[in-house]
């Protein structure tokens, strides 16, 4: 069984905006009951109040860097509903810029949210799902939001790439362990998605939309609502990796087939980015 029935109990971290909000919309539309968890409580409330469908949503202020708070969120769902079916470790931040311009505070912040935040979600949800699976039921499914940056590497985004590689590694390793216990694990690896993260986390001359869109020749970022539907299908199919859209899959396959050429292309990409940043600075 892979959780095909509706009425599942879910937690979505980072549910106040972007991919997280889209996941909440898709889950409620599918009949699931969702805790919209976000550090920005007002954003979580807006998402919870805006979703429509046969399911339900309630908002929760949650700092994913607080392990005890994440555990409490899971325990609360279990105490109310008797189980937790879906854990979406989606909260994340991005920091872009020349690596020598990053401070230790930058590194600490992105590690705390993007790695420890996911670890806290796994540590809280996975044992509960294992217990559910041991009872002969569907154990549940953990979805960790990574990135194409977790499968490939490009400069000017070193801290982000590092954390997303960690998320992919955690997800695939856990998946091989969890399969026999009735628990599924999926790592979501999209290319640029149309979310507020494109406009945040800039250090120095870095500009997210130039980097993720113009620099890569992408006309339109991926629609978060389309991504959310793809994620739910990946859960239904119990897929380990979701790499999307099609152009991202093609890039990933090429990178695996020709790693040396891909690295050379990455060096040229960084040079092009620096030129774009310089031109942007000259016009402002």
The catalytic residue positions are 160
Distance, CA of 63 to CA of 37 (rounded, Å):
8
Decide: 159 and 95 in contact? Cβ < 8 Å: yes
CA dist., res. 99 & res. 136, Å (int): 49
Distance CA 204, CA 211 (A): 13
CA distance 33 to 122: 19
**How far, in Å, CA of 83 to CA of 68, rounded?**
19
Residue 99 CA to residue 87 CA, distance in Å, equals 32
| Token duo for residue 35 | 């805790």
**What's the DSSP call for residue 51?**
-
Region of residue 187 (phi > 0: left; psi between -120 and 50: alpha; otherwise: beta): beta
Q: Any bridge partners for residue 185, and if so which?
A: 142
Length of the chain, in residues: 284
Q: What is the DSSP code (8-state) at residue 116? A: I
Q: What is the DSSP secondary-structure string of 133-201?
A: HHTTS--EEEEEE--GGGTS--TT-HHHHHHHHHHHHHHHHHHHHHGGGTEEEEEEEES-BSSGGGGS-
Q: Can you tell me which residue has the tokens 């810029």?
A: 97
């Amino acid at each position: 069984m892979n959780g095909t029935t509706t009425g599942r109990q879910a937690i979505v971290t980072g549910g106040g905006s972007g991919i997280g909000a889209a996941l909440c919309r898709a889950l409620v539309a599918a009949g699931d009951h969702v805790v919209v968890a976000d550090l920005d409580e007002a954003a979580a409330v807006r998402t919870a109040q805006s979703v429509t469908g046969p399911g339900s949503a309630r908002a929760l202020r949650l700092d994913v860097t607080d392990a005890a708070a994440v555990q409490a969120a899971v325990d609360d769902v279990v105490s109310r509903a008797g189980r937790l079916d879906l854990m979406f470790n989606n909260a994340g931040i991005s920091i872009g810029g020349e690596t020598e311009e990053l401070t230790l505070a930058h590194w600490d912040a992105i590690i705390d949210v993007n790695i420890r935040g996911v670890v806290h979600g796994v540590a809280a949800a996975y044992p509960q799902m294992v217990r559910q699976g041991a009872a002969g039921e569907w154990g549940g499914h953990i979805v960790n939001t990574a990135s194409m940056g977790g499968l490939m590497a490009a400069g000017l985004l070193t801290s982000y790439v590092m954390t997303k590689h960690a998320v992919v590694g955690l997800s695939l390793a856990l998946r091989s362990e969890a399969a026999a216990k009735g628990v599924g694990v999926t790592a979501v690896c999209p290319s640029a998605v149309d979310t507020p993260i494109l406009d945040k986390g800039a250090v120095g001359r870095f500009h997210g939309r130039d980097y993720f869109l113009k620099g890569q020749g992408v006309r339109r970022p991926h629609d978060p609502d389309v991504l959310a539907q793809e994620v739910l299908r990946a859960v239904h199919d119990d897929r380990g990796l979701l790499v999307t859209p099609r152009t991202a899959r093609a890039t990933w396959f090429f990178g695996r087939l020709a790693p040396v050429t891909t690295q050379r292309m990455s060096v040229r990409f960084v040079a092009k980015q620096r030129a774009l940043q310089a031109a942007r600075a000259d016009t402002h």
